[in-house]
């Protein structure tokens, strides 16, 4: 007879305990321990035979390199984030807030892929008629797309073997359950086992598989962190539900860069590509306003021009506030300390608020100079020239250091009509300046401040 064993598993991180606890000792989450009953059958264990492995040990020098061409999705922004297209047999996880557009994006991708390939879209949250209603709103024709509504993983496996699609979509992983796992759908055990089985299916049958995953309040994909380690690519679909723009980022990609970013606009007919995001980020900019500067940043191989806004006001508290949206809070404190020490700006009694317009997150050091200028502009209540662009990394001694890919940054600024680019002096030389823009090299923030307000 089968023996049953009861354990308690944390729904947030997967930690297991023989007894219930109010607080998980591993991740610190409260009221996340749920009982999981495991059935173990008595009997001899299955021996591992030689034929259980389809591969044999080989040296790398004896393995021939096979060309595996990527499949394009015909959506350039999506292909950019994936690293050039979909790799056959890859397992891709897409996460995002509810209602952000994950299912809409994948339905558009499937509609385009189904014109030349066999695509199976499995929905665990909607019926086939509801999926049809959603597809009718899209501008792409999804008539050749195969749709199936099922949550049982074993039935899904049999269906995939019969249809043998080239692309598979699971929407979503939290609704799929393995009948041999006793816990409820969406639990840590179910999500882990189902993803493991889908990974075997994708690798053995060479099917590119997309998995939709919900996120928690902290913005992490629901389920154990092991889920992100198992898949080949992890994409996050970000955006504000009150605005129409969406950003697709890669936080893990075994077949490409994780620095790329795709930008879409949500419309009635689905998601539309934004091919020139710099214009989008600057379209609502107000010129000749104190505290506003422009920086040319790099998102992977794409240059972007974004606006950095600063508001510096006298504080009414003993400890002034430092708030940053779009840049690291610690970097803001560091740059304000450099300004106060090297330029004598009395910022100890000032609240400082920094925001990157458009919802972009900037984590590269080339934005330091723009942040410095915007803080000084707001503190002195002096606007900078509306056609200036500031690029450079700032050191602790006030020096402005060189940055990478300066030529692409300046070319993007010139294309959008900026007349002057303030860059590190060490970046001048070795490349051709574009027409219509003045290049000014500086060595420290004192020179930058003189140029910005003269």
Binding-site residue positions: 96-103
State CA 390 to chain mean position distance.
26
Report yes or no: 391 and 370 within 8 Å, Cβ to Cβ. Answer: yes
Long-range contacts from 406-411, C-beta under 8 angstroms, 24+ separation: 406/431, 407/431, 407/432, 408/298, 408/303, 409/296, 409/297, 409/298, 409/303, 409/366, 410/296, 410/434, 410/437, 410/439, 411/303
Q: ∠405-419-416 over CA atoms, to 5°?
A: 65
Question: How many C-beta neighbours within 10 Å does residue 155 have?
Answer: 13
Backbone phi, psi, residue 294, to 5°: -115, 135
CA–CA distance, 392 with 360 (Å, rounded to integer): 18
Neighbour count for residue 207 (Cβ, 10 Å): 21
Q: Cα–Cα distance between 313 and 5 in angstroms, integer?
A: 61
Annotated binding site for ATP: 96-103
CB 175 within 8 A of CB 56: no
Euclidean distance between the first and the last CA atom of the chain, given in angstroms as a whole number: 87
Q: How many CB atoms lie within 10 A of CB 69?
A: 9
Sign of CA dihedral 154, 159, 162, 168: negative
CA angle, 155 then 161 then 163, to 5°:
100
Which residues share a beta bridge with 295?
A: 306
């Amino acid at each position: 007879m089968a023996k049953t064993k009861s354990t308690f598993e944390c729904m947030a991180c997967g930690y297991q305990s023989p007894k219930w606890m109010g607080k998980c000792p591993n991740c610190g989450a409260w009221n996340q321990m749920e009982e999981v009953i495991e059935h173990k059958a008595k009997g001899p264990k299955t021996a591992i035979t030689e034929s259980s492995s389809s591969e044999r040990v080989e040296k790398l020098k004896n393995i021939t390199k096979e060309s595996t061409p990527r499949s394009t999705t015909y959506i350039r922004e999506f292909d950019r984030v994936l690293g050039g297209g979909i790799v056959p047999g890859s397992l891709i996880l897409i996460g995002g807030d509810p209602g952000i557009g994950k299912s809409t994006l994948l339905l558009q991708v499937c509609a385009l892929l189904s014109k030349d390939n066999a695509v199976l879209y499995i929905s665990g949250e909607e019926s086939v008629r509801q999926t049809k209603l959603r597809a009718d709103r899209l501008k792409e024709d999804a008539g050749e797309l195969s749709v199936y509504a099922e949550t049982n993983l074993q039935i899904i496996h049999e269906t995939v073997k019969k249809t043998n699609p080239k692309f598979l979509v699971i929407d979503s992983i939290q609704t799929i359950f393995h009948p041999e796992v006793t816990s409820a759908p969406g639990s840590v055990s179910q999500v882990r086992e189902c993803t493991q089985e889908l990974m075997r299916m994708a690798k053995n049958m060479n099917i590119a598989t997309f998995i939709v995953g919900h996120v928690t309040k902290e913005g992490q994909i629901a389920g154990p962190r092991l889920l992100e380690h198992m898949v080949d690519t992890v994409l996050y679909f970000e955006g504000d539900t009150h605005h129409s723009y969406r950003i697709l980022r890669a936080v893990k990609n075994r077949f490409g860069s994780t620095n790329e970013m795709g930008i879409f606009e949500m419309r009635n007919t689905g998601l539309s590509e934004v091919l020139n995001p710099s214009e989008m980020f600057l379209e609502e900019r107000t010129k000749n306003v104190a505290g506003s500067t422009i920086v040319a940043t790099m998102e992977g191989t794409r240059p972007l021009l974004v606006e950095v806004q600063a508001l510096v006001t006298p504080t009414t508290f003993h400890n002034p506030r430092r708030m940053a949206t779009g840049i690291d809070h610690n970097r803001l404190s560091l740059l304000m300390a450099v300004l106060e020490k090297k330029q004598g700006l009395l910022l100890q009694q000032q609240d400082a608020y920094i925001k990157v317009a458009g919802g972009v997150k900037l984590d590269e050091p080339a934005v330091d100079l723009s942040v410095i200028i915007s803080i000084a502009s707001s503190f002195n209540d002096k606007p900078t020239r509306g056609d200036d662009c500031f690029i450079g990394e700032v050191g602790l001694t006030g020096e402005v250091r060189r940055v990478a890919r300066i030529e692409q940054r300046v070319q993007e600024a010139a294309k959008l009509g900026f007349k002057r680019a303030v860059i590190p002096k060490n970046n001048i030389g070795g490349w051709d300046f574009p027409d219509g823009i003045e290049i000014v090299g500086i060595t420290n923030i004192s020179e930058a401040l003189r140029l910005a307000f003269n």
